[in-house]
């Protein structure tokens, strides 16, 4: 009996101890998580389920346990809009294997104590605001397999200790502020499969030759991170590598022959470097290659014939090199080719006939070469084709008759060639947005079918030999923004139907044989910027109402047979005589006194519009004196109210933990602390009691006694949640009923305005040309604005929601085919109440702004004018695809019947005012 009792007693003791340990563990884990929650700002209440009254394993958001519910194994609280520090209390979760805090706004440095989580296999902190050096202590976690620290603000060098992990498979350090050399010790990671170290980092030197020892490596992305030197030939040892991205660096020398040994390679991007020499013959062994990008280098020689024989090649971009010779004749015969760009080289010969053999070719760009011969007729049957850019060559023959009918085609550039024949008389394509045939030898009459290109935005036919009348069907081109028919032989009257092109900003009909009068209807084109009718045979008067066209910035009526008085008001008061010369019967202040044939009333009207200079001077002096008097009075008034205003109660709203109060902020408002002044307020530099430097921006006061902030509080709450490397961080704001003080982190190396205006340089807002030229201009800002409009329409972020390598612009194009009629496919459900004509109009403007080529984007002036020229539903002939109801038609303007009774809904918001 005793022998049975002792084992039973021992088992009972162990069970009690186990239950006790388990209960203690439960309390410890729960305490650790509740402590972590208390350190985090959670504006969306995403962690509201974390409370002691519920089961942490079953009910707590993002928490997963083992099957016994005794141990926490995983915490995934990614993308919950959390801010604050990475909670050190998480180090108490000793059984934790998976920790994902990515896509939040966590700040501060990485807590060293988390290195005690020795069971951790996955650590993901991507896309936060973490600072300081990369945590060396992570090298102490022996079983780590996945480490993502990208998209933060980590600085300093990559620790050499990161080369000691035995089981690591994934490392991402891209998108930080890392410097120094890349440690060769990383070459010791024999289990590593994916390594991402580029973008925003700026290393010294090149890639270590030891990377050739990464025998398991599948993907290496070291793009845009300041690397230099030669590409190590040891990379040819990576037999499992399928992706090698080294673009936008400073690599020099020749392409290593050893790259031909990468038998698994699918994507090779070495673009935008300083590589020289020829394409090595060894690359013919890359039978799995789908993408080959070598553009923007200094490569020369012929494009090897084997390039056309690569069986899997889909993307070939070799532009801006010095390649000579002809294009490989077999290119495209693999039936896989999708994108081809050979522009800006010195290629000769003709275009291969089989480029679209598999009917998958989407982009064909070969402009700026010395190509000759005809455009292959096979391109007219390439149903997949979206863009054709073959300008600036010596191509001859006629345009393939079916080319302009391809349903997916959005852009055709054939300018500066030797093309002959007529404009294709086809059914047209509603998706075609640009037709550029400038500077060829085309002739004949424009067909009426030109009105079928309902989606065309740019129609450039200048410097050809087109003749006959401009067809009235041109008025059907409702999306047209630029029309250049100059230097042809068009005759007859200017068709008044041109005025129906309400989005037209540029119209050039100069150097033709046009006759008759200038149509009065042109004066109704409210956003027209540029109008050139010079060197024709026009007669009659310049329509007086043309002076009311406030959008006009340039006009040219010179060398016609116009007569009468030149309008002198509105925009016409800024034009000079060069716009009107060559018209002997015109008169006005620019070109001489009017003859007796001009009525006295017209002259009197003109003169009465002008005031004597002496009178103008007196008016200006009077206004100046009034302004000075008013300013002095305002200063005395402001001083008298200063103490009363500041005596009011102040409220501090903080967007992170702050160790100072409004009183500390108010102490900074001294004359000697002013570091900037502007129309938006005064900026002071302040030092808080804890030594922290801040910038305090005092905004212009609200009306005295006003209790309404006109949306200020809501907007400033939004700004406070923004975390971006190029935007000064708003720490908080102090406010009373009359004054608002914004408290920013202090930026000693630049003004707040400089930092605040740099958002266009952030990933997702970057214009495509920046990746190749590293330069920005006004058109780059236009692109960024277009991205913002797409964010407004879709309700999505610019990146991170569409899969690897896809941003919001690419996603929108894929889902809408750039057609505004398909905007419902990407529309934010929250905007369903917005009138569809507004949505489509804003979408149209957005797609203009994000054109891939900067020259095709409008100016911001044009953007503003197009946005304000919202077409009416009945004018646009739109249909609301969400309900299927007819939203208006030219033939049916609507019904006079009263609407049926039904539930009352609030008015839809105005999308253009959001």
Domain contains 663: yes
Lowest mean pLDDT among 65-69, 224-228, 603-607, 745-749: 603-607
Give the model's pLDDT for residue 612: 52
Counted domains in the chain: 4
Identify whether residues 680 and 820 lie together within a single domain: no
Identify whether residues 746 and 715 lie together within a single domain: yes
Give the model's pLDDT for residue 245: 95
Identify whether residues 770 and 743 lie together within a single domain: no
Domain contains 234: yes
Domain contains 720: yes
Q: What region, left, alpha or beta, does residue 14 occupy, with left being phi > 0 and alpha being psi -120 to 50 degrees?
A: alpha
Buried-exposed string 602-625: b where 16+ CB fall within 10 A, e elsewhere: beeebeeeeeeeeeeeeeeeeeee
Helix spans in 648-751 (H): 662-666, 712-720
Domain contains 543: no
Give the model's pLDDT for residue 889: 34
Rounded Cα gap, residues 353 and 332, in angstroms? 9
Rounded Cα gap, residues 33 and 45, in angstroms? 15
- CB contact at 8 A, 695 and 684: yes
Identify whether residues 839 and 741 lie together within a single domain: no
Domain contains 874: no
Which CATH number is 36's domain given?
Answer: 3.80.10.10
Domain contains 218: yes
The full 3-state SS of 127-169, as one line of letters, equals CCEECCECCHHHHHCCCCCEEECCCCCCEECCCHHHHCCCCCC
Lowest mean pLDDT among 48-52, 206-210, 653-657: 653-657
Report the length, in residues, of the chain.
914
Query: How large is the average pLDDT for residues 542-551?
Result: 88
Identify whether residues 188 and 252 lie together within a single domain: yes
pLDDT at 589 over 80: no
Give the model's pLDDT for residue 371: 95
Identify whether residues 726 and 784 lie together within a single domain: no
Identify whether residues 739 and 780 lie together within a single domain: no
Q: What region, left, alpha or beta, does residue 277 occupy, with left being phi > 0 and alpha being psi -120 to 50 degrees?
A: left
Given the structure tokens 């630029």, which residue do they identify?
A: 482
Rounded Cα gap, residues 334 and 359, in angstroms? 11
Rounded Cα gap, residues 810 and 760, in angstroms? 17
Q: What's the Cα-to-Cα distance from 604 to each of 27, 609, 610, rounded to whole Å? A: 94, 8, 10
Angle in degrees, CA 635, 641, 643, rounded to 5? 120
Identify whether residues 147 and 215 lie together within a single domain: yes
State the maximum Cα–Cα separation within the chain, in Å, rounded to a whole number.
Answer: 140
Domain contains 147: yes
Rounded Cα gap, residues 472 and 166, in angstroms? 74
Tokens of 603: 């002259």
DSSP 651: E
Give the model's pLDDT for residue 877: 41
247, 264, 284 — which closes off a domain?
A: 284
Q: What percent of the chain has pLDDT over 70?
A: 78
Give the model's pLDDT for residue 716: 60
Give the model's pLDDT for residue 179: 95
Cβ atoms within 10 Å of 691's Cβ, excluding its own: 7
pLDDT per position as a tens digit, 615-645: 545 555 666 666 656 556 555 554 544 444 4
Rounded Cα gap, residues 576 and 556, in angstroms? 10
Identify whether residues 683 and 769 lie together within a single domain: no
Strands 122-124 and 146-148: parallel
Identify whether residues 842 and 780 lie together within a single domain: yes
Residue range(s) defining the domain that contains residue 656: 651-702+711-750
Q: What percent of the chain has pLDDT over 90?
A: 52
For the chain, the distance separating the N- and C-terminal CA atoms, rounded to the nearest angstrom, is: 85
Rounded Cα gap, residues 701 and 737, in angstroms? 9
Given the structure tokens 């740019």, which residue do they identify?
A: 458
Closest of 398, 403, 384, 388 to residue 441, by C-alpha: 398
- CB contact at 8 A, 436 and 414: yes
Identify whether residues 745 and 840 lie together within a single domain: no
Query: How large is the average pLDDT for residues 880-884?
Result: 37
Which CATH number is 744's domain given?
Answer: 3.30.200.20
- CB contact at 8 A, 312 and 337: no
Given the structure tokens 């495509």, which residue do they identify?
A: 768
Query: Phi first, then psi: what are they for 65, rounded to 5°?
Result: -120, 175
Identify whether residues 746 and 773 lie together within a single domain: no
Domain contains 33: yes
């Amino acid at each position: 009996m005793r022998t049975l009792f002792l084992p039973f007693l021992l088992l009972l003791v162990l069970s009690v101890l186990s239950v006790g340990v388990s209960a203690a563990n439960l309390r410890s884990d729960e305490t650790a998580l509740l402590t972590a929650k208390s350190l985090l700002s959670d504006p969306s209440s995403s962690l509201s389920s974390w409370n002691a009254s519920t089961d942490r394993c079953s009910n707590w958001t993002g928490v997963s346990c083992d099957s016994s519910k005794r141990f926490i194994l995983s915490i995934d609280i990614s993308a919950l809009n959390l801010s604050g520090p990475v909670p050190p209390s998480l180090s108490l979760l000793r059984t934790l294997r998976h920790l994902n805090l990515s896509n939040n706004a966590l700040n501060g440095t990485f807590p060293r104590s988390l290195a005690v989580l020795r069971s951790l296999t996955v650590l993901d902190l991507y896309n936060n605001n973490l600072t300081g050096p990369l945590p060396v202590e992570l090298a102490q976690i022996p079983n780590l397999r996945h480490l993502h620290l990208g998209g933060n603000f980590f600085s300093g060098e990559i620790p050499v200790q990161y080369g000691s992990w035995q089981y690591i498979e994934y490392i991402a350090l891209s998108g930080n502020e890392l410097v120094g050399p890349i440690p060769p010790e990383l070459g010791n990671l024999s289990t590593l499969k994916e390594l991402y170290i580029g973008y925003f980092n700026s290393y010294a030197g090149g890639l270590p030759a030891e990377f050739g020892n990464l025998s398991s490596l599948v993907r290496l992305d070291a793009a845009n991170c300041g690397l230099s030197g030669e590409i190590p030939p040891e990379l040819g040892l990576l037999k499992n590598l399928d992706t090698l991205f080294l673009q936008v660096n400073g690599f020099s020398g020749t392409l290593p022959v050893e790259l031909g040994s990468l038998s698994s390679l699918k994507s090779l991007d070495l673009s935008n470097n300083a590589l020289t020499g020829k394409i090595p013959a060894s690359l013919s062994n890359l039978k799995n290659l789908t993408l080959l990008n070598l553009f923007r280098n200094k490569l020369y020689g012929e494009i090897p014939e084997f390039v056309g024989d690569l069986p899997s090649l889909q993307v070939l971009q070799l532009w801006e090199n010095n390649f000579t010779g002809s294009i490989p004749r077999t290119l495209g015969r693999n039936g896989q080719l999708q994108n081809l760009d050979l522009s800006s080289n010195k290629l000769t010969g003709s275009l291969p006939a089989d480029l679209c053999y598999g009917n998958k070719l989407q982009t064909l760009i070969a402009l700026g070469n010395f190509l000759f011969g005809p455009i292959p007729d096979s391109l007219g049957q390439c149903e997949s084709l979206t863009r054709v850019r073959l300008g600036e060559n010596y191509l001859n023959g006629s345009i393939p008759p079916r080319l302009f009918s391809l349903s997916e085609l959005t852009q055709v550039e054939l300018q500066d060639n030797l093309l002959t024949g007529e404009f294709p008389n086809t059914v047209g394509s509603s998706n075609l947005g640009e037709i550029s045939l400038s500077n060829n030898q085309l002739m004949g009459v424009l067909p009426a079918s030109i009105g079928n290109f309902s989606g065309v935005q740019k129609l450039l036919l200048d410097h050809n030999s087109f003749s006959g009348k401009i067809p009235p069907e041109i008025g059907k081109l409702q999306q047209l923004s630029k029309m250049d028919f100059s230097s042809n032989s068009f005759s007859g009257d200017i068709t008044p139907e041109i005025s129906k092109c309400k989005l037209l900003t540029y119209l050039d009909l100069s150097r033709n044989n046009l006759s008759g009068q200038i149509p009065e209807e042109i004066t109704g084109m409210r956003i027209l910027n540029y109008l050139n009718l010079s060197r024709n045979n026009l007669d009659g008067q310049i329509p007086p109402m043309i002076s009311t066209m406030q959008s006009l910035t340039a006009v040219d009526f010179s060398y016609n047979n116009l007569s009468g008085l030149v309008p002198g008001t509105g925009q016409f008061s800024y034009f000079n005589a060069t716009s009107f010369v060559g018209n002997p019967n015109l008169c006005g202040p620019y070109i001489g006194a009017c003859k007796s044939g001009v009525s006295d009333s017209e002259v009197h009207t003109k003169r009465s519009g002008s005031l004597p200079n002496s009178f103008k001077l007196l008016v200006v002096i009077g206004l100046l004196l009034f302004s000075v008097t008013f300013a002095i009075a305002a200063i005395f008034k402001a001083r008298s109210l200063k103490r009363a205003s500041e005596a009011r109660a102040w409220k501090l709203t903080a967007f992170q933990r702050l160790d100072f109060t409004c009183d500390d902020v108010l102490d900074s408002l001294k004359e000697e602390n002013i570091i900037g002044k502007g129309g938006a307020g005064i900026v002071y530099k302040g030092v808080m009691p804890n030594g922290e430097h801040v910038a305090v921006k005092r905004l212009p006061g609200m009306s005295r006694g006003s209790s309404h902030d006109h949306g200020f509080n809501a907007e400033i709450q939004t700004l406070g949640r923004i975390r971006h490397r190029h935007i000064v961080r708003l720490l908080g704001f102090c406010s009373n009923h009359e004054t608002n003080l914004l408290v920013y982190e202090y930026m000693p190396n630049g003004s707040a305005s400089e930092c605040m205006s740099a958002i266009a340089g952030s990933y997702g807002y970057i214009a495509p040309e920046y990746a190749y030229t590293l330069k920005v201009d006004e058109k780059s800002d236009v692109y960024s604005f277009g991205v913002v409009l797409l964010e407004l329409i879709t309700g999505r972020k610019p990146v991170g929601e569409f899969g690897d390598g896809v941003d919001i612009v690419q996603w929108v194009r894929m889902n809408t085919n750039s057609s505004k009629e398909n905007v419902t496919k990407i529309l934010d459900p929250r905007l369903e109440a917005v009138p569809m004509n507004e949505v489509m109009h804003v979408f149209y403007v957005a797609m203009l702004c994000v054109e891939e080529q900067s020259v095709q984007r409008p100016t911001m002036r044009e953007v503003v004018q197009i946005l304000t020229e919202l077409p009416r539903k009945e004018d646009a002939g739109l249909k609301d695809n969400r309900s299927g109801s007819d939203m208006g038609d030219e033939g049916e303007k609507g019904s006079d019947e009263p609407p049926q009774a039904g539930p009352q809904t609030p008015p839809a918001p105005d999308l253009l005012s959001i």
